[in-house]
Amino acid sequence: MKQFAVIGNPIAQSLSPDLHQEVYRQLRLDAFFEKIQVKTNELHPFINSNELDGFNVTIPHKQSVIPALDELDESAKIIGAVNCVHKGKGYNTDWLGFLKTLEINKIELNGKDCTILGAGGAAKAIAYALITSNVKSISIVNRSQENAHQLSQWIQDNSDISVTTTTPEHLSAVADFIINCTPLGMWPNTKSIPMDMELIHKNHILVDTIYNPIETEWLKSGNAKGAKTMGGLDMFIAQGLASADIWFGENLSKSLKIEKIRQVLISRI
């Protein structure tokens, strides 16, 4: 039986086992997926001694795992974060999950003006997806200007896209396409909203990376104004399936009932 896992700390809240076990059930794969709590001081010994066939990496190890790996996939190298490991090689499938969500919702990014709320790890993976999609401009809205400037510099080092930065307090306008990459609104603080909703109107497209709750307060409020909204669950599912494709060496997604996976995960949230 093949053995897979997600490692992180804390890890109790992870839905990755539910996602992957449902994939194995649907495809009758002889495999098992568990969650393993790995503390920071245990990370390198774990990487060197585990006998897993593959594993996902989540907070707080996405960057710190890199020195322990033998090699990195091109996107993981550029983003500087790994969420999937196979045979000592690190991959980043978060940005792929985001692009897949847009593809499912038939949203074209080429030439678009975009706003990213947040400047952490998820924001960087999303920024990479925006770079590969040839967007026109990116505005970064973040509490810490230092972190916003770092992300801005990274985007300019890796593309010709025009970038601006501001703080949530100074935000006076947003682009048509907005992605929330902060944890504001995530369970248990579900009433938090990452930006001033006065700036949102019906032509906006809002994408939240949060999937617990399925529909955040930000999305609910955007919906009420007639904006198009998408939650983080499809991105989460797509990053997981992209990881499974790497581990099994084939495109599993085409044979899966994605709606059934969604229902299983929704029932766990």
Ligand X SMILES: NC(=O)c1ccc[n+]([C@@H]2O[C@H](COP(=O)([O-])OP(=O)(O)OC[C@H]3O[C@@H](n4cnc5c(N)ncnc54)[C@H](OP(=O)(O)O)[C@@H]3O)[C@@H](O)[C@H]2O)c1
211: contact with ligand X by CB under 6 A: yes
In this chain, which stretch among 17-25, 42-50, 64-72, 143-151 interacts with ligand X, using CB under 6 A? 143-151
Cα–Cα distances in angstroms (integers) from residue 165 to residues 80, 119, 137, 140, 242, in the given order:
21, 10, 11, 5, 31
Q: How far is the CB of 66 from ligand X (least distance, A)?
A: 15
144: contact with ligand X by CB under 6 A: yes
150: contact with ligand X by CB under 6 A: no
165: contact with ligand X by CB under 6 A: no
Question: How far apart (Å, rounded) are the C-alpha atoms in residues 124 and 237?
Answer: 19
Q: How far is the CB of 43 from ligand X (least distance, A)?
A: 16
Catalytic residue among 2, 35, 39, 62: 62
Question: How far apart (Å, rounded) are the C-alpha atoms in residues 226 and 39?
Answer: 44
Q: How far is the CB of 12 from ligand X (least distance, A)?
A: 14
Cβ proximity to ligand X: between 72 and 237 the closer is 237
Give which of 91, 104, 79 is closest to 253, Cα–Cα: 104
Cβ proximity to ligand X: between 168 and 226 the closer is 168
Q: How far is the CB of 136 from ligand X (least distance, A)?
A: 23
Structure tokens at 138: 């990116």
Interior/surface letters 50-74, b for 16+ CB within 10 angstroms, e for the rest: eebbbbbbbebbbeebbebbeebbe
Give me the 182-201 binding string for ligand X, x by CB under 6 A, dash otherwise.
Answer: xxx-x---------------
Tell me, what amino acid is at 18? D
In this chain, which stretch among 21-29, 32-40, 105-113, 118-126 interacts with ligand X, using CB under 6 A? 118-126
Match 């001694």 to its residue by tokens. Answer: 49
Residue 62 designated active-site: yes
Residues 27-56 that bind ligand X (CB under 6 A): none
236: contact with ligand X by CB under 6 A: yes
Sequence-distant (6+) residues with CB within 8 A of 7 are 35, 36, 37, 38, 43, 46, 55, 56, 57, 58, 61
- Is residue 243 within 8 A of residue 4, CB to CB? The reply is no
Query: Number of residues in contact with ligand X, rule: CB under 6 A?
Result: 25
Match 């939650």 to its residue by tokens. Answer: 231
Q: How far is the CB of 210 from ligand X (least distance, A)?
A: 5
119: contact with ligand X by CB under 6 A: yes
Q: Which residues are catalytic?
A: 62
